[in-house]
Chains A and B, each alone.
Chain A
Amino acid sequence: AQSVAQPEDQVKVAEGNPLTVKCTYSVSGNPYLFWYVQYPNRGLQFLLKYITGDNLVKGSYGFEAEFNKSQTSFHLKKPSALVSDSALYFCAVREWDYGQNFVFGPGTRLSVLP
């Protein structure tokens, strides 16, 4: 079975500092990996995905994520955080050969302090 863990409920960083939101996953086959962001009372918005290719994936709003197969991780990063990045972040996984089901992690609340 597929699963996703986000070990931190909350991450706080100062504006201008780099940020990392952690994600680890478990699948039996090859993973498709995704990051989504959710602002209050809104749906989830896609940030980036890893399918194959380069382990460093660049996405929307200056975010990037690094796929690490040996550590089964897909951490989200940004070199310089903005106050407007404060939101709930979800990591998700889908197996290549397991239908079209997306499994989401529990979410990490990012707070960027001015």
Chain B
Amino acid sequence: ETGVTQTPRHLVMGMTNKKSLKCEQHLGHNAMYWYKQSAKKPLELMFVYSLEERVENNSVPSRFSPECPNSSHLFLHLHTLQPEDSALYLCASSQEGMKAFFGQGTRLTVV
């Protein structure tokens, strides 16, 4: 248990659906991250929030939309995804970037 909780653990969605991934941390950290992990590809940073403000967006398609309503919660809103978006989505948090704590991930399958 790392203190970072992601829900749901598994999600199957159609290409026309809208869904959201949730991440929650109660570690008092000031930064939260979304990473995408695909088979045979490096971990890809999608979004970074520091003090609830987005500081990085690595050219992620607009069908992924992050939201950070407070320092403990991070969402990833999904709409009109493509099959190639199927992956493990990992949330992480850190305090001043000293060490990242990861959730267990959401395994997303787009059909």
Q: Is B90 touching A44 in the complex (CB atoms < 8 A)?
A: yes
Closest chain B residue, CB of each to CB of A46: B99
Inter-chain contacts of B104 with A (CB < 8 A): 41-43
Main secondary structure of the interface of B (DSSP, over half): strand
Q: How far is the CB of A89 from chain B (nearest CB, A)?
A: 12
Bound CA span A43–B48, Å: 17
Interface size on B, residues (CB 8 A): 29
Among residues of A, the one whose C-beta sits closest to the C-beta of B32 is A100
Among B41-100, those with CB < 8 Å from A are 41-43, 45, 48, 50, 55-56, 88, 90, 92, 94, 96-100
- Is the beta-carbon distance between A45 and B102 smaller than 8 angstroms? yes
Q: Decide yes or no: A42 and B105 within 8 Å by CB, A99-B97, A102-B33 being known contacts.
A: yes
Question: Interface size on A (CB < 8 Å)?
Answer: 23
Given contacts A43-B2, A43-B4, contact A107 B42 (CB under 8 A): yes
Contacts of A51 in B (CB 8 A): 98
B34 interface residue per 8 A CB criterion: no
Q: Would you call B97 and A32 a contact (CB within 8 A)?
A: yes
Are B50 and A100 interface neighbours, CB within 8 A? Answer: yes
Interface positions of A (Cβ within 8 A of B): 32, 34, 36, 41-46, 49, 51, 90, 92, 94, 99-107
Question: Mind listing 7 A-B residue pairs with CB under 8 Å?
Answer: A32-B98, A45-B2, A92-B100, A99-B48, A100-B31, A101-B56, A104-B42
Since A46-B100, A99-B55, A102-B92 are in contact, a sample of 4 more A-B pairs with Cβ atoms closer than 8 Å, ordered by chain A residue number, is: A34-B100, A46-B101, A100-B48, A107-B42
